[in-house]
C-alpha cells in the first residue's frame, strides 16, 4: 500500500472522529485503503453496504445482475420507485454515494457466477449475499486460495446467517491491564485489573472454508455438545439444498408447496449429516419466504461489523458463523469446522 493512500485528510479525520476514538487511527487507515466487492443488492446487501460505506472504506463495487422489482421495496432502501426495471446495483449507486462522498462507489451489472479467479484478485474483501450455495463455495475457494477475506450471508424469511473465512487472520485485541500488585491473600490471590488502562495484544485466528463447514458429519458427537449447536445451522443446510434442487428460493406465492418440499428435504439432509430428524422442528418451513427488513437490519449489522473488524484488524472477529432466529429473536455465534 502506498504511503499516500494511507494518509487521512483533515476532512476525513473530522468525519470519522468518533470511530477513530473508538478503534484508533491505525485501524481507520487500514479501512481507508480497503477495496471491497459486494454481491447482491437485496435487503441484506443494502444493510451491509450502508454500514461499510459509513465506516470509510476506500472503494466498494456493487455487483448484481437482477432488476429492481416491487418486492425490493419491502427491504431495499437504496432504491426508489422510479428505479423499477433498472439494474439493482446501478440503481443503488446514487444513494450509496450520498452516504459518504469519500468512498469510491461503482456498479457491475454482470453475474458473479461467470467470473473467474482473476476477477476477485483486485479486491481485499469479497462479500456474497443472495447467492446460490454452489456460487458461494466456488468464490470462497478462489478467495481462500488467494488470501482474500471472504464473507457470505442470506435471509430466509424469519431466519438469517452470515459466514466469514479470513483464512489466517492477524488482529489486535484491547484488554484491561493487569497490575503487578495483587488483591486477596494466600496462594489464590489474583492480580488487580485496572479498567482505566488497557494493553494491546496481537493474535492470530485460523478459519475454514464454507464447503468444509457444511460437510461436517455429526454422527458420534456427544448429545451435550450437539445441544450447543444452533438448530438454525441445520435449517440453513435444508434451505440451501432447496435452492440447489429447485433452482430458486422459497416464495410466498408457493408457500404450501414449498413447505412440503422443504420438509421432504429436511429428512434427506439431516440423514446425510448423521443428525436425528427430531433435532429440527417442522415449524420453520412455514417461515422462510422473502426478506424481512428487521431480519435484514440485524444480520446486515452483524455482517457489516465483521467486515469492519477484518479490514481494520481490530478486535476478534466471529469465527465462523452468525445465525439469527427471528421467531425467537435470538442470535448465535458458532464455529463449525469439519474436524
Tens of pLDDT, residue by residue over 103-122, are: 999 999 999 999 999 999 99
- For the segment 310-331, the average pLDDT, to the nearest whole number, is 95
Question: Residues 278, 305: one domain?
Answer: no
Query: What is the residue-averaged pLDDT of the chain?
Result: 91
- The answer as to whether 77 is a domain residue is yes
Burial profile 267-304: b = 16 or more Cβ within 10 angstroms, e = fewer: eebbeebebeeeebeeebbbbbbbbbbebbbbbbebbb
- For the segment 52-73, the average pLDDT, to the nearest whole number, is 96
Question: Residues 97, 12: one domain?
Answer: yes
Question: Residues 79, 151: one domain?
Answer: yes
**Residues 15, 28 contacting (CB under 8 angstroms):** no
Question: Residues 120, 87: one domain?
Answer: yes
Please give the pLDDT value at position 220: 84
Please give the pLDDT value at position 223: 82
Question: Residues 195, 269: one domain?
Answer: no
Please give the pLDDT value at position 177: 77
- For the segment 26-48, the average pLDDT, to the nearest whole number, is 96
**Residues 86, 100 contacting (CB under 8 angstroms):** no
For 127-139, what is each residue's pLDDT tens digit?
A: 999 999 999 999 9
- The total of structural domains in the chain comes to 3
Please give the pLDDT value at position 78: 97
Question: Residues 82, 161: one domain?
Answer: yes
- The answer as to whether 211 is a domain residue is no
Question: Residues 27, 163: one domain?
Answer: yes
Question: Residues 198, 315: one domain?
Answer: no
- The answer as to whether 335 is a domain residue is no
Count of alpha carbons within 13 angstroms of residue 332, beta-carbon side = 16
CATH assignment of the domain containing 35: 3.40.50.720
For 186-237, what is each residue's pLDDT tens digit?
A: 555 556 665 567 788 899 999 999 999 999 989 888 888 888 889 999 999 9
Q: Lowest-confidence range among 5-9, 99-103, 142-146, 208-212? A: 5-9
Question: Residues 90, 194: one domain?
Answer: no
Question: Residues 26, 158: one domain?
Answer: yes
pTM (two decimals): 0.90
Angstrom distance (rounded) from CA 179 to CA 197:
9
- The answer as to whether 339 is a domain residue is no
Please give the pLDDT value at position 159: 97
- The answer as to whether 250 is a domain residue is yes
Q: Is the pLDDT of residue 4 over 70?
A: no
Q: Which residue range forms the structural domain that includes residue 187?
A: 170-205
Question: Residues 23, 148: one domain?
Answer: yes
Question: Residues 125, 227: one domain?
Answer: no
Amino acid at each position: 500500500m502506498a504511503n499516500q493512500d494511507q494518509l487521512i485528510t483533515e476532512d476525513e479525520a473530522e468525519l470519522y472522529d468518533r470511530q477513530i476514538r473508538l478503534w484508533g487511527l491505525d485501524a481507520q487507515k487500514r479501512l481507508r485503503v480497503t477495496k471491497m466487492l459486494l454481491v447482491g443488492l437485496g435487503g441484506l446487501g443494502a444493510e451491509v453496504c450502508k454500514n461499510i460505506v459509513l465506516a470509510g472504506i476506500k472503494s466498494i463495487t456493487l455487483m448484481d445482475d437482477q432488476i429492481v422489482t416491487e418486492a425490493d421495496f419491502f427491504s431495499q432502501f437504496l432504491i426508489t420507485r422510479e428505479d423499477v426495471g433498472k439494474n439493482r446495483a446501478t440503481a443503488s449507486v446514487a444513494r450509496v454515494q450520498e452516504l459518504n462522498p469519500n468512498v469510491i462507489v461503482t456498479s457491475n451489472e454482470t453475474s458473479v457466477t461467470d467470473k473467474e479467479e482473476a476477477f476477485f484478485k483486485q479486491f481485499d474483501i469479497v462479500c456474497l449475499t443472495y447467492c446460490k450455495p454452489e456460487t458461494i463455495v466456488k468464490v470462497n475457494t478462489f478467495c481462500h486460495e488467494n488470501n482474500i477475506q471472504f464473507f457470505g450471508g442470506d435471509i430466509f424469511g424469519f431466519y438469517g446467517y452470515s459466514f466469514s473465512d479470513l483464512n489466517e487472520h492477524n488482529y489486535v485485541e484491547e484488554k484491561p491491564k493487569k497490575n503487578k500488585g495483587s488483591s486477596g491473600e494466600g496462594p489464590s490471590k489474583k492480580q488487580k485489573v485496572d479498567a482505566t488502562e488497557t494493553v494491546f495484544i496481537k493474535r492470530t485466528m485460523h478459519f475454514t472454508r464454507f464447503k468444509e463447514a457444511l460437510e461436517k458429519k455429526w454422527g458420534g458427537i456427544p448429545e451435550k455438545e450437539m445441544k450447543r449447536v444452533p438448530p438454525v445451522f441445520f435449517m440453513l443446510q435444508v434451505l440451501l439444498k432447496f435452492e440447489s434442487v429447485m433452482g430458486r428460493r422459497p416464495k410466498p406465492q408457493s408457500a404450501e408447496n414449498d413447505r412440503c418440499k422443504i420438509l421432504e428435504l429436511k429428512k434427506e439432509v439431516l440423514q446425510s449429516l448423521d443428525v436425528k430428524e427430531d433435532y429440527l422442528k417442522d415449524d420453520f418451513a412455514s417461515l422462510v419466504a422473502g426478506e424481512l427488513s428487521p431480519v435484514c437490519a440485524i444480520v446486515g449489522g452483524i455482517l457489516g461489523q465483521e467486515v469492519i473488524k477484518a479490514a481494520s484488524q481490530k478486535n476478534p472477529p466471529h469465527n465462523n458463523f452468525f445465525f439469527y432466529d427471528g421467531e425467537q429473536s435470538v442470535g448465535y455465534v458458532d464455529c463449525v469446522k469439519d474436524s
